[in-house]
Amino acid sequence: MKRDVIERVLWSLSIDRFSKVKFKENPNKFLMRFALEDADIEKILSFDVKALQEMGVNPMLTMGYWVEMSPDKSMRTYNQKLGSDGVHSASIKG
């Protein structure tokens, strides 16, 4: 299931120093190690946390990935990407 693969990628990028370094060096090469479709790779590279959550990815993983890897680590921006009014919401409010 691709959601499981994406969750493994985000988990790795949230906690594993080696993965973080390799992703920063060459994100596409790093992601080629995983069985991901081009659309999934684009979601990860563009930090589309809303789309990732909508496909069922764990909200805590998207938040950890955002905080560790995004160029803009602001929680305000993260919440804006989710379309959330909350200050520190990890998930989409529905």
Residue 52 lies in a domain: yes
Within a domain: residue 87?
A: no
Above 90 in pLDDT, residue 84?
no
Residue 17 is assigned to a structural domain of this protein: yes
pLDDT tens digit string along 41-81?
999 999 999 999 999 999 999 999 999 999 999 999 999 99
Q: What is the pLDDT of residue 88?
A: 42
Six token digits for residue 90:
């990890």
Of the two residues 93 and 33, the one the predictor is more confident about is 33
Question: In this structure, is residue 49 part of a structural domain?
Answer: yes
Domain with 19, as residue range(s), is: 2-82
Q: How many domains does the chain have?
A: 1
Residue 93 has pLDDT above 60, yes or no: no
Torsion angle (degrees, nearest 10) of CA 61, 67, 71, 73: 130
In a domain, 91, yes or no: no
- Nearest by Cα to 9 from 50, 52, 54, 51: 52
Give the pLDDT confidence score for residue 11 in this predicted structure: 97
pLDDT of 13-36, one tens digit each?
999 999 999 999 999 999 999 999
Instruction: Confirm whether 89 is domain-assigned.
Output: no
**6 within a domain of the structure (yes/no):** yes
